[in-house]
């Protein structure tokens, strides 16, 4: 639908007021999915930033989903896609100046709102990124804790082996001591037995 110049100016005012009240829409696909850049950030839809851009503003800037959004001005209603370019001279005519100036004031407020929306969204994104990083670090810590537990188990196992080897060594040492004492005692007993035996007489042969 082609709106006359006056309705075009009213449409601009109505859209800007609506976005200031309800929030500037985010760029989405035709399916309504948020469009993200390479950093995962989302962006706001276009809105004019000055007098020239206000005059050249059209509904072709937007995707199908947003272009079919209905706006109301007093008793009239229209779609965003109905927005068409108007000339600067038309916009500056005396009977459009009030609407134009209202639009420019709304644009100034929308610039502030845009900064606020982006800041809030960036905070949310930053929180999400921090939570993701925290989850990643917790995962790493979990792996590290598992490795630490494994190392502790290995240390305990090695300590057990060392203690077992020490006991075995002490047992062997004790057994060697007992064996040595037994040999010494046997030698003593053998010596005593030999001392009790009379010495053999030497028999001399006659020549």
Q: How many Cβ atoms from other residues are within 10 Å of residue 1's Cβ?
A: 8
Q: Look at residue 9 and give its three-state secondary structure.
A: helix
pLDDT bucket at 125, cuts 50 / 70 / 90: low
| The model's pTM | 0.60
Percent of the chain with pLDDT over 70: 77
Distances (CA, A) of 126 to 24, 56, 120, 148, 170: 21, 36, 10, 32, 64
Residue 156: predicted pLDDT: 74
Residue 32: predicted pLDDT: 83
Enumerate the domain spans of the chain.
Answer: 5-121
Residue 151: predicted pLDDT: 66
pLDDT tens digits along 139-182: 777 767 776 677 677 767 767 776 776 677 577 667 756 765 77
Query: Tokens 């057994």 appear where?
Result: 175
pLDDT tens digits along 1-17: 667 889 999 999 999 99
36 pLDDT higher than 80: yes
Percent of the chain with pLDDT over 90: 29
């Amino acid at each position: 639908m082609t709106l006359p110049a006056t309705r075009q100016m009213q449409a601009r005012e109505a859209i800007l007021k609506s976005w200031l009240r309800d929030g500037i829409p985010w760029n989405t696909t035709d399916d309504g999915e948020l469009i993200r850049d390479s950093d995962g950030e989302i962006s706001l839809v276009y809105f004019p930033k000055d007098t020239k851009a206000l005059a050249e503003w059209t509904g072709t800037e937007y995707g199908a989903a947003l272009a079919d959004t209905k706006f109301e001005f007093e008793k009239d209603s229209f779609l965003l896609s109905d927005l068409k370019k108007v000339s600067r001279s038309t916009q500056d005519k005396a009977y459009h100046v009030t609407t134009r100036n209202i639009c420019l004031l709304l644009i100034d407020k929308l610039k502030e709102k845009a900064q606020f929306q982006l800041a809030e969204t960036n905070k949310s994104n930053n929180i999400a990124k921090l939570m993701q990083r925290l989850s990643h670090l917790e995962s790493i810590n979990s792996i590290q804790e598992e490795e630490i537990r494994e190392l502790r188990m290995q240390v305990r196992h090695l300590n057990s082996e060392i203690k077992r080897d020490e006991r075995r060594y002490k047992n062997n040492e004790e057994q060697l001591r007992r064996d040595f004492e037994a040999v010494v005692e046997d030698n003593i007993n053998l010596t005593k037995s030999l001392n009790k035996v009379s010495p053999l007489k030497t028999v001399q042969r006659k020549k």
